């Protein structure tokens, strides 16, 4: 048996260059009324015209693990969903994409979270977990891979792909290097040593950043693309929050991390020279333009994307990712399947997606989100 609950949201208009944001959920029929605490509590009253129907599973427990890049989005989604669907418990452990995929393939979780699509070998192995089926990638949240830096006295910094490749590979070891100075005319760059920071855990963020360097920097980045860091030198930290901590406590540091964490930890970020008329800063809006350059690469129900990391489209931030929720197309655990489908339908809904820009993520393009919901309906 399923319980149908109405979820209403309030919306307010913002400038034409900003995304529409969605307020806290106003829940009817489940004993709760009123917006969430914090920022959402300041929102105006809900409009009755905005109603999303949630088919709440009567009960269920859904465990997920993986991408730390989507942790802030997942925390919000879980809180809001469980306020509506009080009989369901959702848990998410941000272990990193590699660990999340591994746990899913062992059957330890109902879904995995990854910043990169499954490999052919991982899909093959999923047959042991997905009885009669296979694992598929469902895009859920987009965003930029931000480049955080710590240079006292320097508030704005522009870098391009070849220069980033050399900074992260130790071939540019001082911030006043002429190759950095050329991209930052008029900026008083210090002679501070460069301290690159990379992820210590297997990470889809690492894979996406190295994909960008491989595509956009060409021969300047001679390493293979993988979830683990390939270049020499530098220091390492676990997860985006670990990278943020390392950058903010080390003068001269530069590291790659999720934008929501960079904003949360007050980390200065790099604007990227893509060859467009002006450098592009990492924002939900610029990431959406970058994601719009991608094409769907998956087969059948798989909705993995192939990004154009070398794009020079105006206003498109090129170092982007989407976090995928990894599930079985068939063979999902019966006891958690109704709750899993209900939760993922919410996260991919207009309601769930519209809340993302306020948390520094980019919502999925409308057509892609509709495709995701269509696949979720068919999960078995």
Q: How many angstroms separate the CA atoms of 357 and 43, rounded?
A: 16
Q: Which ranges of the chain does DSSP label H, i.e. alpha helix?
A: 71-84, 97-105, 120-125, 161-168, 178-183, 204-216, 239-248, 259-264, 284-291, 337-347, 350-354, 366-378
Q: How many angstroms separate the CA atoms of 349 and 328, rounded?
A: 20
Q: Per DSSP, what are the bridge partners of residue 4?
A: 55
pLDDT in tens, 296-353: 999 899 999 999 999 999 999 999 999 999 999 999 999 999 999 999 999 999 999 9
Residue 29 has pLDDT above 80, yes or no: no
Please state at what angle helix 337-347 crosses helix 366-378, rounded to 10 degrees: 170
Q: How many angstroms separate the CA atoms of 291 and 283, rounded?
A: 12
3-state secondary structure of 378: helix
CATH class of 145-291: alpha beta
Q: Do domains 2-141+324-378 and 145-291 have the same CATH topology?
A: yes
CATH superfamily, region 2-141+324-378: Periplasmic binding protein-like II (3.40.190.10)
Q: What is the residue extent of each domain of the chain?
A: 2-141+324-378, 145-291
Q: How many angstroms separate the CA atoms of 351 and 8, rounded?
A: 9
For the chain, the residue count is 380
Residue 4 has pLDDT above 90, yes or no: no
Q: Which residue has the tokens 């998956």?
A: 298
Q: How many angstroms separate the CA atoms of 320 and 204, rounded?
A: 11
Residue 133 has pLDDT above 70, yes or no: yes
Residue 7 has pLDDT above 50, yes or no: no
């Amino acid at each position: 048996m399923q319980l149908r609950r109405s979820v209403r949201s309030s919306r307010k208009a913002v400038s034409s260059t900003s995304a529409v944001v969605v307020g806290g959920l106003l829940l009817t029929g489940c004993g709760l009324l009123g917006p969430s605490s914090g920022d959402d509590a300041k929102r105006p009253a809900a409009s009755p015209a905005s109603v999303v129907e949630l088919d709440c599973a009567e009960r269920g427990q859904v465990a997920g693990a993986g991408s730390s890049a989507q942790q802030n989005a997942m925390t919000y989604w879980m809180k809001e969903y469980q306020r509506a669907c009080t009989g369901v418990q959702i848990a998410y452990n941000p272990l990193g994409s590699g660990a999340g995929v591994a746990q899913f393939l062992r059957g330890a979780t109902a879904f995995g979270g990854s910043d990169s699509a499954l490999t052919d070998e991982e899909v093959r192995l999923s047959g042991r977990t997905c009885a009669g089926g296979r694992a598929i990638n469902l895009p859920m949240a987009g965003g930029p891979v931000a480049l955080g830096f710590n240079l006292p006295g320097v508030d704005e910094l522009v870098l391009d792909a070849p220069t980033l490749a050399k900074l992260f590979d130790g071939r540019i070891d001082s911030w006043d290097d002429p190759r950095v100075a050329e991209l930052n005319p008029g900026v008083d760059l210090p002679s501070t040593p460069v301290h690159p920071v990379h992820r210590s855990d297997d990470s889809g963020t690492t894979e996406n950043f190295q994909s960008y360097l491989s595509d956009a920097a060409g021969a300047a980045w001679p390493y293979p693309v993988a979830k683990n860091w390939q270049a020499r030198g530098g220091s390492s930290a676990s997860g985006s929050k670990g990278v943020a901590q390392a950058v903010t406590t080390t003068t001269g540091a530069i590291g790659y991390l999720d934008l929501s964490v960079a904003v949360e930890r007050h980390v200065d970020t790099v604007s990227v020279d893509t060859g467009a008329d002006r450098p592009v800063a990492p924002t939900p809006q610029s990431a959406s333009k970058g994601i719009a350059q991608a094409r769907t690469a998956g087969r059948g129900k798989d909705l993995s994307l192939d990004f154009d990391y070398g794009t020079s489209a105006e206003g498109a931030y090129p170092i982007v990712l989407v976090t995928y929720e990894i599930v079985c197309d068939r063979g999902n655990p019966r006891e958690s399947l109704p709750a899993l489908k209900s939760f993922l339908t919410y996260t991919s809904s207009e309601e769930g997606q519209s809340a993302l820009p306020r948390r520094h993520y980019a919502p999925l393009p409308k057509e892609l989100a509709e495709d995701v919901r269509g696949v979720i309906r068919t999960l078995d």
